[in-house]
Amino acid sequence: SPLANPIGSIINGGTPLVPNLAPALSNNTFDYVVLGAGTAGLTLAARLSQDGKSSVLVIEAGGDIDYNAVPKEFSQTPGGDVVGCGSADSDFIQNDIDWGYKTVPQAGANNRRIRYARGKVSGGSSTRNFMLYQRPTIGTMDKWVDLTGDQSWSFKNTINFFKRSMTFTPPNHALRQESPAAQYDASNWGSSALTAPLQVTFPHLPQNFSKYMQLSANEVGTPTTQSFNGGVLNGIQYAPTTMDPKFNHRSTSHAFLDDAQGRSNFHSYFQTYAKRIIFTKDGNTPRASAVTISTLPNGILETDIVYARKEVIVSSGAFGSPQLLMVSGIGPQAQLQKFNITPVVINENVGKNMQDHIFFGPSYKVDPALKTFTELAANPVFLATQLVNYTAAALGPLTNNVADMLAWERIDPVTLASIGASKLLTYPSDWPFLEAFSAPGAVGDFSNLLATNAEMGADGSRFSTILMALVAPQSRGTVTLASKDTSDLPIIDPAWLTDPVDQKVAIYAFKRARQYFAAKAMAPILIGNAKTAETLPGSDVQTDDQILNWIRNNLMTVWHASCTCSMQKKELGGVLDNKLQVYGVNGLRVVDASSFPVLPPGHPQSTIYMLAERAADLILAARG
């Protein structure tokens, strides 16, 4: 057994720092050790422990949100999601539950360094996200099949894993009173007999701005569609959200923790850093057998070891997972050499191929009767009333995740050719190139949405924005090490907007947002006309160069970092095989956004839950 004498046979990094450590004590040995209690990690750990047969430990650097009252209140309240996710440093309440990542200067963003929100807490980034729940297209998953060489990743073959993680509740039209009404397709969801911890539904109140966006989208050629969850995306509709239907609280992967916590075979260590995976020998192949951990604040020092009888599963997210592989000896040669890390497997692809979405868009002055987010930020009396309304009755604008309506569209081939972006025609035919978000507030450079809206709304002005995201991005980024210690944040370089095709599409997207606002359907809510109402950037910005420069100064991540430990055929640049196992070693998988072969258009959390559900099946099948 690889655990017979784990200390004696360690092949990376020598003897653990802790003296007198008794190897493989029964209370620090588990069948499965999951690193990261985030979106994927908690889902996976809960599923692995469900049949009571395997012991599972999940390790999380952050705390349990249940013991962190103020961030919990903010996190639970859907309208609070826009607080503390900005591009500037000035975050407050959420600092306790966030890693505080910041990119290196981004050439594509006029050398700005941009703060990149990431959950460091139970539920990981599902505790911080905007709750939008939507699935990839059929063609997207066909791309996964091509890249992995495995038909089991098709949409048809994964749909039951998508359905398995969540319970859907239809929109409450009586409360919402919206027109046009939110639509959904009942066949996209599980049967009423199928219940899962994660809750998906619609907010109790839609944003007033969204219906105007919907009507103007229809007018400029984007039709209303019924659903974003059956494998087709093009069109406009309200998006379902990961929310509890009764109280409209945020629902996260913590729901899986709640389910698992009472099981005697389920264990969780919070405020514990995974420091390094220890490899022993399995014949000639390294085997992941144990993990050094730190229970000290800020993860300094290796303080203990936990052993895995069967597997170690890394679910530390798109930044944390490649970091953990690299500090443990799996990564590009130059990275390992630079930090004097004993190599286990040289794989140049670890930390490469990072894919992400960016968004940006013009803000317009609108009728104050709309009650936008600007009203909440700039009118303390209204905010106080709505806090009571939300807390006491689960009603009002705070039940809404702010960006509640989405639209996806392709760009026709003639236009693509005219803007120099024909390269996108290589994408599957159902893959949209642009996503539009309703954003009822002023946005600008996303530095701090609360402060921006409080300031711009101080004179009674109210705003709405349509954010445009590039959802077939060509630019690729990297995650590299700053040191050989996971207590130091890795270096994040998303390289947004460095590819010329992305720049062309971004200019097109910006002009498209202006078309939405110029539609007749938008006229009733604009102060003045589409030209005079445009406040950011304002109608002075007209030429392609001016537009691109404004985008560079204002673009923001949609926080969809992925693909940094990609599941792909090795010759294509993979880190993981088609069963999420790390190439070249035994007993080690990576399961989270970093495992994606390619980033689907839109919002990744549904795919991450699917991945965790599927991984649990693969792991339990291997257990026999």
Q: Among residues 204, 249, 357, 560, which one is catalytic? A: 560
Could you tell me the smallest distance in angstroms from the CB atom of residue 279 to ligand FAD?
17
d(Cα 88, Cα 3) in Å, to the nearest integer? 47
Give SS3 for 464: strand
Asked if 45 interacts with ligand FAD (CB under 6 A), we say no
Select the residue interacting with ligand FAD from 2, 13, 16, 38 (CB under 6 A). 38
Q: Is 121 annotated as a binding residue?
A: yes
Interactions with ligand FAD, residue window 576-615 (CB under 6 A): 592-593, 603-605, 608
Could you tell me the smallest distance in angstroms from the CB atom of residue 319 to ligand FAD?
7
Tell me which residue of 443, 470, 466, 557 sits closest to 513, measured CA to CA: 466
560 is catalytic: yes
Select the residue interacting with ligand FAD from 56, 61, 306, 402 (CB under 6 A). 61
d(Cα 252, Cα 259) in Å, to the nearest integer? 12
204 is catalytic: no
Q: Which is nearer to ligand FAD, 351 or 604 (CB)?
A: 604
Asked if 441 interacts with ligand FAD (CB under 6 A), we say no
Dihedral (Cα; 468, 233, 151, 475), 10-degree rounding? -10
d(Cα 462, Cα 377) in Å, to the nearest integer? 10
Strand-pairing partners, residue 59, are: 35, 269
Q: Is 604 annotated as a binding residue?
A: yes
d(Cα 550, Cα 158) in Å, to the nearest integer? 40
- Helical segments of 341-437, H only: 373-378, 380-393, 413-419
Could you tell me the smallest distance in angstroms from the CB atom of residue 514 to ligand FAD?
25
d(Cα 306, Cα 288) in Å, to the nearest integer? 11
Size of the site for ligand FAD (CB under 6 A): 41
Secondary structure in 3-state letters for 159-190: HHHHHHCEEECCCCHHHHCCCCCCCCCHHHCC
Binding range to ligand FAD, per CB under 6 A, among 67-75, 104-112, 121-129, 370-378: 121-129
Angle between helices 155-164 and 605-623 (to 10 degrees): 90
Q: Which is nearer to ligand FAD, 37 or 610 (CB)?
A: 37
Asked if 315 interacts with ligand FAD (CB under 6 A), we say yes
Interactions with ligand FAD, residue window 316-335 (CB under 6 A): 316-318, 320, 324
Q: With beta carbons less than 8 A apart as the criterion, state whether 556 and 103 touch.
A: no
Give SS3 for 431: coil
Asked if 265 interacts with ligand FAD (CB under 6 A), we say no
Q: Which is nearer to ligand FAD, 503 or 605 (CB)?
A: 605
d(Cα 128, Cα 438) in Å, to the nearest integer? 19
Read off the DSSP letter of residue 519. Answer: S
Asked if 357 interacts with ligand FAD (CB under 6 A), we say no
Site string for ligand FAD, 268-287 (x = CB under 6 A): -----xx-------------
Interactions with ligand FAD, residue window 524-553 (CB under 6 A): none
Q: Is 560 annotated as a binding residue?
A: yes
Read off the DSSP letter of residue 18. Answer: -
Q: Which is nearer to ligand FAD, 101 or 433 (CB)?
A: 101
Which one-letter amino acid corresponds to residue 367?
Answer: D
d(Cα 334, Cα 346) in Å, to the nearest integer? 9
Q: Which residues are known binding-site members for FAD?
A: 121, 559-560, 604-605
Active site residues: 560, 603
Q: Which residues are annotated as a binding site?
A: 121, 559-560, 604-605
Question: What residue ranges bind ligand FAD (CB under 6 A)?
Answer: 35-41, 59-62, 85, 117-120, 124-126, 128-132, 273-274, 315-318, 320, 324, 486, 559-560, 592-593, 603-605, 608
